[in-house]
Structure 1
Amino acid sequence: MRHLLAGAVALILATLAAPAADARDITVAFAAEPPQTDPTRAIAGIDAYFLTLFYEQLLNVDPTLGRVNWLAESWSFAPSGEDHVLSVKIREGVRFHNGDTLSAHDFRYAYERQRDPASRSAVRFRFVRDLVVHDDLRFDVVFDRPDALFEQWNLTLWAVPRRYFQAVGDAGIQAHPVGTGPWKFVSRKPREELVVERFEDYWNAPAKPRAQRLVIKIIPEDTTRVAAFKTGTVDWIDAVPPAQVAGLASLRGVRVASLPTANNLYLGMNAVDPRSPLGDVRVRRAVAHAIDIDAIIEHIVYGQGVRTVQLAPGTLGYDEGLAPYAYDPGRSRALLAEAGYPRGFSVNCYNLTTPREPNIKEVGEAAFAFLTAVGIRCRIVQMEYGAWVHVLRTASRPAMDGIISAMGWQGLPGDPTDAWSGHLHTFTDRWGRVSYHADPELDGLIQTLRTTLDPERREQLARRIARLKHERVAGGLPTYRPVVSLAWRDTIAFRPWPAAYWRSMYEIDLAP
């Protein structure tokens, strides 16, 4: 199934690629602005929009969804006594934007920053005991237990310039990012634009931009962003409104790509608060039967979504035999009555308004309207991205006390282990950072999945977890995997890379 997904994406991208031409400025528009430009302090997937301009990792995922060596020249993962050791040799002669040469000591510094409790990525080092530098080009990461996700995270570590970070501090890093990536920082006006220029000393010649400068405008409003594209103010836009995908694709001189994102959307439910009706599996099943997800995909996102029972096709653990809960308002009301709520109940329903995925605000509102219709009366709380991220976290206060329109990153091709570790595993100091569910059996299975390296055994475990999760409506109700549409003029040669949800600017230039 993974090969089918990779093949389909490769076929789409092969038709989009075009040779590059002479350099000059290109202007693009993003619907959302990342809050972070420091990879060791990134808080959410949206941060990758800017991070992938400046910063790089040891591995990368190419346009065919193949994982390739990037800053790592070679690497291996093997047992060593009672330990498990990841041995890495980095490329020689890679330079940062400020002229410093990348060394293994920079990765040691990144390790210290990323495993700091202030970093969201600290949980990714839960099985790591140490990082040992051997010389300027070689280092080992020592694990107490194997970690199946380290490769999916591109070996987790970011290349950051140790001396520069130490000299300028957190505020300086945020104000002027410096990495090894293909683009150098020029200027930024928050909520308006970011300007970058080609990094002349970029180590990877085939991936080096030929365009001289890239201007990224921040235009959250769909109508304004599309108008800027149609009038020629910008050359490229992301998050094409689903209702306008077909219309833009039909215009002369316009190219459109619709590609699956790395997120799976779901409705999170607080099932751990003893005062909440959602702790009863019958109520959670009532939620599942109350919402016509297929209608939402058809009418709200105009078919720009892949329906998920638990996982999208091509994902580890995908089971095509797993049937969705049927849209059945009568069954939903009966389950509510059986659980002791014949008149229903009122609940806070938290809705993301920032266009992190196409029409995400309207999708949440539609789902909550379906719930209200069967007696689960939603008091909708509209939230912009920062507030939404805050309330989604289990440890935050005030807590998410009802239902929330949420999403979990599963990557391309997909692996649910990280997402399930976050929103299905019981909340602890190392697990369940956005979880409102508690199930010891599922906890044990997720932990086993995380530390199992054998692909066949991982597939079996993931399928078992998915079935149990589905039966218990545990860790939320999955809905669909969004499809994001990008549009550009045929004066632009653009080949989408999956990093940053297809917004990576590795291959963008003027067409001949």
Structure 2
Amino acid sequence: MAAFAIAAFAMAGAAEPVRAQGTLRLAMTSSDIPTTTGMPNNGFEGMRFLGYPVFESLVLWDLTTTDRLAPLRPGLAERWEQVAEDPKTWRFHLRRGVTFHDGTPFDADAVIWNLERYFNKESAQFEPPAAGIVRARAPIMTGYRKIDDMTVAITTASPASYFPYMTALILLSSPASFEKAGRDWAKVGTQGSAGTGPFKIASVAPRERVELVRHDGYWDQAKKAKLDKVILQPIPEANARLAALRSGQVDWIEVPPADGIPSLKQAGFAITTGSYPHVWPWFYNIGATNSPFRDVRVRQALNYCVDRDSIVALLNGTAEPAIGWLKASDPDFGKPVNRYRFDPAKGKALLAEAGFTAQKPLSFKVMISTSGSGQMSPLPMNEFMQASLKEACGVEVDFVVTEWQVLLNNMRALPDAPALNGAMSLNISSPSSDPSVMARYFAAAGVPPNGFNFAQWKDDAFEAAFARLAAAVDPKVVAEATAVAHERLVDNPPWLYIVHDLNPRAMSSKVKGFVSPQSWFVDLTLVSMR
């Protein structure tokens, strides 16, 4: 498979004309290009490269610094506020003078049109795949309305101080793109929709490439892109990405194979790493019939059976051990009773208390992907996990191997869904950037299809702490409540926490200006080619 991928990519590269100055060729980990209708699939890698560079949201991220988690900044809304007399309502004041790439105006009507596309099944523009993504990322939205041409109001099911973080994940595209394609989202996908971002889609070749070109009419002249063009290409196999970089067919690869990093450095390629809000776990399927993970002792036991330091070594130091959803150094980590470490004796004792012994070992299936956004090196990492859990604690693990987008879809599956093929766990990397993410993955209200609480986990102490967090506006109260909530995520774990990624990328020395922010996203407007 790897040889075929390299050969196919080489043929595609051979047909490419000589690139102009300022063209960046970038190899993604996905097996296909993200969807180009305005709400890309393929997880946050899709958002990273075919989301924010082309389409924007009312609220954006500041991706220019590395010393702290990426904060929010004004986007297509110049400002917003939580309405004092009705804290379930947020008012967004839109940026004036913005147009989509096709020249049509951005205004309140365009915002409402997009929200109807995601939330109203009866609207002509309803797009089910995009709607599924947005609804899961903003599960607390209950309504929206136009106040005037440049103001919209959005309501939530309950007061939520973190709602602007959810808003940042709702991308907006031109209604005219849908009309131009005969109101056919499939046709929009072949042409690419128009956004408001610093790049616009120039051409789309499914499973091969998407070409983006600089949008010279971008509304923020201070953020105008330096590059003339970005060519995005899906290369899911890690060694194929490595070969493409070495041969000069691409300039930038996501997630270089760990064993190739020393030789890349020696050959003069730049390797960038940096802390960012990311955890690589196994999600427990607590809700499945006869799931062993209904017993908290089993969930805790596996967290003591993982040799995290050896996985970090396997990854050539491009990760760090994870003993919770947040990093242990995070001020909101709290003071949980359990401080997970590699302790097979404790793990086996907990398993024995739950009825699993050498004579009756714990056995289950995990659904994993071959590649994908934030998945690091899923095959060797999961093979190591399989062998290590067997050796350390006698746990027998089998894998259901699938494609990344299929795995993502299954995160919203019901516990006994046939699509899971009996899997009692899913290996899906997760952001840990803000309370809105905590809500989507762990709040009881976020069970599928409303959110990403695949585990069907519910903890009363967590719910109480999170309710306090959601209602608070004082940062001190938010921090205190977050710490209490996180303590429950450790002591009553819905996941097996394995490692935190350090976001490795490999680039040609010709790539200049890249900043590795503490975010899942990047700012391509900063990048240039020498």
TM-score by length of 1: 0.85
Map of 2:245 onto structure 1: 229
Q: Does 1:185 align with 2:201?
A: yes
C-alpha displacement of 1:372: 2.4
Q: Is the 8 A contact 1:425 1:446 kept in 2?
A: no
**1:447 positional shift:** 4.2
Which of 89, 106, 110 is the equivalent residue of 2:110? 106
Query: Given the alignment, which residue of 354, 371, 374 partners 1:354?
Result: 371
Check whether the contact 1:88–1:138 (CA below 8 A) recurs between aligned residues.
yes
1:57-456 residue pairs with structure 2 within 5 A? Answer: 57-62=57-62, 63-64=64-65, 65-80=70-85, 82-116=86-120, 118=128, 119=131, 120-123=133-136, 125-143=138-156, 145-168=158-181, 169-175=184-190, 176-252=192-268, 254-298=269-313, 300-310=314-324, 311-312=326-327, 317-319=332-334, 324-342=339-357, 343=359, 344-356=361-373, 357-373=375-391, 374-395=393-414, 396-399=417-420, 401-410=423-432, 414-423=433-442, 425=444, 427=447, 430-431=450-451, 433-456=453-476
CA RMSD of aligned residues (A): 2.8
Q: What is the aligned partner in structure 1 of residue 28 from structure 2?
A: 30
Asked if 2 retains the 8 angstrom alpha-carbon contact of 1:185 and 1:197, the reply is yes
Structure 2 SS opposite 1:302: coil
3-state SS in 2 of match to 1:73: strand
C-alpha deviation, 1:449, in angstroms: 3.2
Contact 1:25 1:211 survives alignment (8 Å): yes
Shift of 1:296: 1.0
Which is worse superposed, 89-98 or 109-118? 109-118
Secondary structure of the structure 2 residue equivalent to 1:52? coil
Q: Deviations over 1:467-491 (max 9, x none)?
A: 222222x211222221122232332
Deviations 1:298-319 (A, max 9, x none): 2x21111132221126757223
Q: Which amino acid aligns with 2:36?
A: T
Structure 1 pair 479–40 and aligned structure 2 pair: CA distance change class (3 A): same
After alignment, is 119-128 or 356-365 more displaced? 119-128
Q: Distance in 1 between matches of 2:330 and 2:120?
A: 31
Is 1:477 the counterpart of 2:496 in the alignment?
A: yes
Contact persistence 2:323–2:341 (CA under 8 A): no
After superposition, give the CA deviation of every residue in 1:203-244 in whole Å (9 maximum; x if it has no partner).
122222233222222222222222222222222222122233
Distance 1:452 1:127 in 2: 17
Give the Å deviation of 1:499.
9.3
Give 1:385 shift: 0.7
Query: How big is the shift at 1:184?
Result: 1.7
Partners of 1:499 and 1:177 in 2: how far apart? 29
Change (3 A) 1:98 1:389: same
Greater alpha carbon shift after TM alignment, 421-430 vs 206-215: 421-430
Count of paired positions: 483
What amino acid maps onto 1:188 in structure 2? Answer: V
Deviation larger for 317-326 or 303-312: 317-326
Question: Residue 188 of structure 1 aligns to a residue in which SS?
Answer: strand
Distance 1:500 1:317 in 2: 18
- Structure 2 letter corresponding to 1:68: R
Q: 1:370 is aligned with what amino acid?
A: S
Q: Distance in 1 between matches of 2:486 and 2:441?
A: 15
- CA distance in 1 between partners of 2:79 and 2:153 (Å): 12
Q: In structure 1, what is the Cα distance between the partners aligned to 2:246 and 2:220?
A: 34
Partner deviation per Cα, 1:31-82 (whole Å, 9 max, x = no partner): 22454333447473232121223101122222212422222222222312x4
User: How far apart are residue 353 of structure 1 and its match?
Assistant: 1.6
Q: Which structure 1 residue ranges, 4+ long, deviate > 6 Å from structure 2?
A: none
Q: Secondary structure at the match of 1:86?
A: strand
Q: Is the 8 A contact 1:46 1:500 kept in 2?
A: no
Given that 1:41 and 1:114 are in contact with CA atoms closer than 8 Å, whether structure 2 keeps it comes out as no
| CA spacing shift, 1:208–1:23, aligned 2, 3 Å | farther
Q: Closer, same or farther in 2 for the Cα pair 1:397/1:275, shift >3 Å?
A: same
| Cα distance in 2 for residues equivalent to 1:205 and 1:269 | 47
Farther-moved stretch of structure 1 (364-373 vs 392-401):
392-401
- Residue 52 of structure 1 aligns to which amino acid in structure 2? Y
Q: Which moved more, 1:206-215 or 1:180-189?
A: 206-215
Contact 1:347 1:377 in 2 (8 A): yes
Q: Deviations over 1:435-486 (max 9, x none)?
A: 24343443443344344333222211221122222222x2112222211222
Cα distance change of structure 1 residues 70 and 497 upon mapping to structure 2, 3 Å threshold: farther
Structure 1 residue 376: Cα displacement: 2.0
The amino acid that maps onto 1:58 is: L
Whether the aligned pair in 2 keeps the contact of 1:131 and 1:139 (CA below 8 Å) is yes
- Report the residue type matching 2:300 in the other structure: R
Aligned-partner Cα distance in 2 for 1:191–1:43: 13
Match of 1:9 in 2: none
